[in-house]
Amino acid sequence: MRCTLNHLNSEDLAHEFRTDVLQIRVDRSITAPRDLPAGELETWLNGFARTLSEAVRLASARLLGIDQREISATVRGRLFGYPEVILYDSVAGGAGYCQILINRYSMRELLAAARDTLNCPADCSHSCRTCLQDYDNQLHWERLSRKPVLAWLANLLSTDQPENPFVRFKAAPMSSELVASVIHKELDRATHIVAVAPSLFDLRKNSADSEGFEGIEAAALAKKLVAWMARGNTLEVGVSQPPVVGPEYPNSLYLAKWLEPCLTDGHLKLWLLPKNFDGMVWPRLIINPGREHGYSYCSSSGLGAGFLGLPLSPQAWKGPGLGSDDLAAMRQGWQPISGKPLVAPASIVKQDYPPSAKREFGRDFGFCKDKSFDSLRVEDPFVFASRRNFDQFTRFLAELDSLWSAWPAKVEVKTRDIREARQNEMLQELQQLLAAKGSTFASHRVPSYGPGRKDFHDRRIIFQMDASNPKKRTTVLLTGGVDRYMDSKVECSLVVYHSS
Ligand SMILES: [Zn+2]
């Protein structure tokens, strides 16, 4: 047939219906017989895959005690020839068979049942009505060949798998790329999550990321969780140490300010785990505990990080929800954390600006009004990174000038050394500007590469009243630094605290 169209219309050849689906991926390639003529390889592989999917389908129906017609299967090849069998309910809307299957049986049990299906009592050569053939797979009878698949499955099941520490929860290993997004995905459908972690968040004296002081993953997750809890959902976190909130850990102030309202309204519950709680034995995350369509996630790596920074460690296993007995045993001895563990000192003020929100400079830096400072110290890796950033910085100083009664005796800037003539020009310019105001200027440039290179991510501004009492000062933490604060197009947060 000759095609006369010069563009293609996509035609929908697929019928789509919503149902439960179970993907079964086996990380073992299918090896064809060596004497197979090259031209027959594809047909042989198709027959193998179809036989496997039919065996899994018939075994599933038998395990579930349902009619074979109520469950369908299809198959596809993955990289390296690894097969993937997809089971789904034949009934539109789904009867939930796939879910029941994973709740009741492990993958090994399912594949063993498929192997048994292939062990034909009539010992047929390829397939027969005793083993594989049924009304629904008539179309494939010619291609079904049980013996190669039987040998493959028997071999697969005989190999010692790496010990599964979570076999009693029927958990199967997860691919590592899925682990990182687990909590974000589950938030779309979960109404209740129980988590276990050493702490709610890690304490950071200095942040180790480039966007802000609070740890970008932890802050992003905290914000998402707060929105999720505001919709009426519940998060419970069992921790081995109660949260520590204080100005020596800037990120703790920020996270506490976010989460504290959820704790007050009861959507966030914090529990202290008993001393003998073994985090390696129990799931780290339980989605919708005690309800249908629940899941549990376990991890075989250590409990090394706070929940908000790493809700699930990379080596993870996923299983169905825990039974009520297991759940009760897991939660035995959990003590509610009393008091107000997430209240930051009252002197701490946090402001969050969404994108395009006008900055209220007079409010945020109101503590400068009619005051004079002995020194102003700005720590920001990027104030001299570009002419634009530098202009934002001088605008920032001009705003301060409209508040304070006099320029500080000393202005210090700690920034990243980008070793460019441009940066020297800007430094000189700043020095002249400050000299005209009667301030001395000192710069501390941190090499960004080569010897002496240090990771330097702080973005803070320290106002010191009195050189003889360095502890009495006001510190302003800025996500993204001065340039983000001065650019009202982007979002920005700041935390102001006074110490004495
Ligand atoms: Zn047979």
Q: How far is the CA of 131 from the centre of ligand 1 (A)?
A: 4
Q: How far is the CA of 43 from the centre of ligand 1 (A)?
A: 20
Q: How far is the CA of 4 from the centre of ligand 1 (A)?
A: 49
Mean pLDDT, residues 276-288: 88
CA-wise closest residue to 87 among 108, 57, 112: 57
Q: How far is the CA of 47 from the centre of ligand 1 (A)?
A: 15
Top-confidence range, 4-13, 208-217, 238-247, 365-374: 365-374
**What residues does each domain of the chain span?**
21-161, 168-336, 349-499
Q: How far is the CA of 256 from the centre of ligand 1 (A)?
A: 65
Q: How far is the CA of 485 from the centre of ligand 1 (A)?
A: 73
Residues 119-149 have pLDDT tens digits of 999 999 999 999 999 988 888 899 999 999 9
Residues 16-29 have pLDDT tens digits of 445 578 888 887 77
Q: How far is the CA of 32 from the centre of ligand 1 (A)?
A: 21
Q: How far is the CA of 46 from the centre of ligand 1 (A)?
A: 19
Give pLDDT, residue 447: 75
Residues 48-63 have pLDDT tens digits of 999 999 999 999 999 9
Q: How far is the CA of 130 from the centre of ligand 1 (A)?
A: 5
- Burial code of 208-239, b = ≥16 C-beta within 10 A, e = fewer? ebebbbbbbebbebbeebbebbeeebbbbbbb
Mean confidence (pLDDT) of the chain: 84
Give pLDDT, residue 204: 64
Question: At residue 246, does pLDDT exceed 50?
Answer: yes
Residues 430-442 have pLDDT tens digits of 999 999 999 999 9
Angle 125-127-132 from CA coordinates, rounded to 5°: 150
Q: How far is the CA of 72 from the centre of ligand 1 (A)?
A: 20
Give pLDDT, residue 80: 63
Which residues fall within 8 angstroms of residue 385, CB to CB, at 6 or more apart?
416, 418
Q: How far is the CA of 27 from the centre of ligand 1 (A)?
A: 27
Q: How far is the CA of 129 from the centre of ligand 1 (A)?
A: 6
Phi, psi of 314 (to 5 degrees): -55, -40
Give pLDDT, residue 392: 94
| CATH architecture, domain defined by 168-336 | 2-Layer Sandwich (3.30)
Q: How far is the CA of 80 from the centre of ligand 1 (A)?
A: 30
Q: What percent of the chain has pLDDT over 70?
A: 88
Give pLDDT, residue 129: 93
Give pLDDT, residue 146: 95
Q: How far is the CA of 147 from the centre of ligand 1 (A)?
A: 10
Mean pLDDT is lowest, of 147-161, 270-284, 380-394, 454-468, for 454-468
Q: How far is the CA of 73 from the centre of ligand 1 (A)?
A: 19
CB-count exposure of residue 87 (10 Å: 0-12, 13-18, 19+): buried
Q: How far is the CA of 132 from the centre of ligand 1 (A)?
A: 6
Q: How far is the CA of 42 from the centre of ligand 1 (A)?
A: 23
CA-wise closest residue to 131 among 142, 153, 146, 109: 146
Q: How far is the CA of 58 from the centre of ligand 1 (A)?
A: 13
Q: How far is the CA of 134 from the centre of ligand 1 (A)?
A: 11
Q: CA-to-CA distance for 212 and 205, rounded, in angstroms?
A: 13
Q: What percent of the chain has pLDDT over 90?
A: 39
Give pLDDT, residue 11: 32
CATH of span 349-499: 3.30.870.30
Give pLDDT, residue 12: 34
Give pLDDT, residue 104: 79
Top-confidence range, 196-205, 243-252, 258-267, 447-456: 258-267
Which residues fall within 8 angstroms of residue 241, CB to CB, at 6 or more apart?
198, 199
Which residues fall within 8 angstroms of residue 121, CB to CB, at 6 or more apart?
130, 131
Q: How far is the CA of 114 from the centre of ligand 1 (A)?
A: 13
Residues 155-190 have pLDDT tens digits of 888 876 566 788 888 888 887 778 878 898 999 889
Give pLDDT, residue 363: 94
Mean pLDDT is lowest, of 297-306, 316-325, 366-375, for 297-306
Mean pLDDT is lowest, of 102-106, 167-171, 239-243, 297-301, for 102-106
Q: How far is the CA of 142 from the centre of ligand 1 (A)?
A: 13
Put residue 436 in one of left, alpha, beta given phi > 0 → left and psi -120 to 50 → alpha. Answer: alpha
Mean pLDDT is lowest, of 41-50, 128-137, 199-208, 399-408, for 199-208
Q: How far is the CA of 148 from the centre of ligand 1 (A)?
A: 13
* pTM reported for the whole predicted model: 0.54
Residues 78-89 have pLDDT tens digits of 666 678 899 988
Question: At residue 376, does pLDDT exceed 80?
Answer: yes
Give pLDDT, residue 207: 40
Q: How far is the CA of 16 from the centre of ligand 1 (A)?
A: 33
Q: How far is the CA of 149 from the centre of ligand 1 (A)?
A: 13
Q: How far is the CA of 139 from the centre of ligand 1 (A)?
A: 17
Q: CA-to-CA distance for 180 and 488, rounded, in angstroms?
A: 31
Residues β-bridged to residue 443? 413
Q: How far is the CA of 163 from the centre of ligand 1 (A)?
A: 34
Q: CA-to-CA distance for 393 and 430, rounded, in angstroms?
A: 10
Q: Do 168-336 and 349-499 come out as alike in CATH topology?
A: yes
Give pLDDT, residue 225: 94
Q: How far is the CA of 152 from the centre of ligand 1 (A)?
A: 17
Task: Tell me the pLDDT band of 93, cut-offs 50, 70 and 90.
Answer: low
Q: How far is the CA of 122 from the centre of ligand 1 (A)?
A: 5
Give pLDDT, residue 4: 31
Q: How far is the CA of 117 from the centre of ligand 1 (A)?
A: 9
Give pLDDT, residue 452: 53
Q: How far is the CA of 63 from the centre of ligand 1 (A)?
A: 19
Give pLDDT, residue 269: 96
Torsion sign (Cα): 398, 399, 403, 404? negative
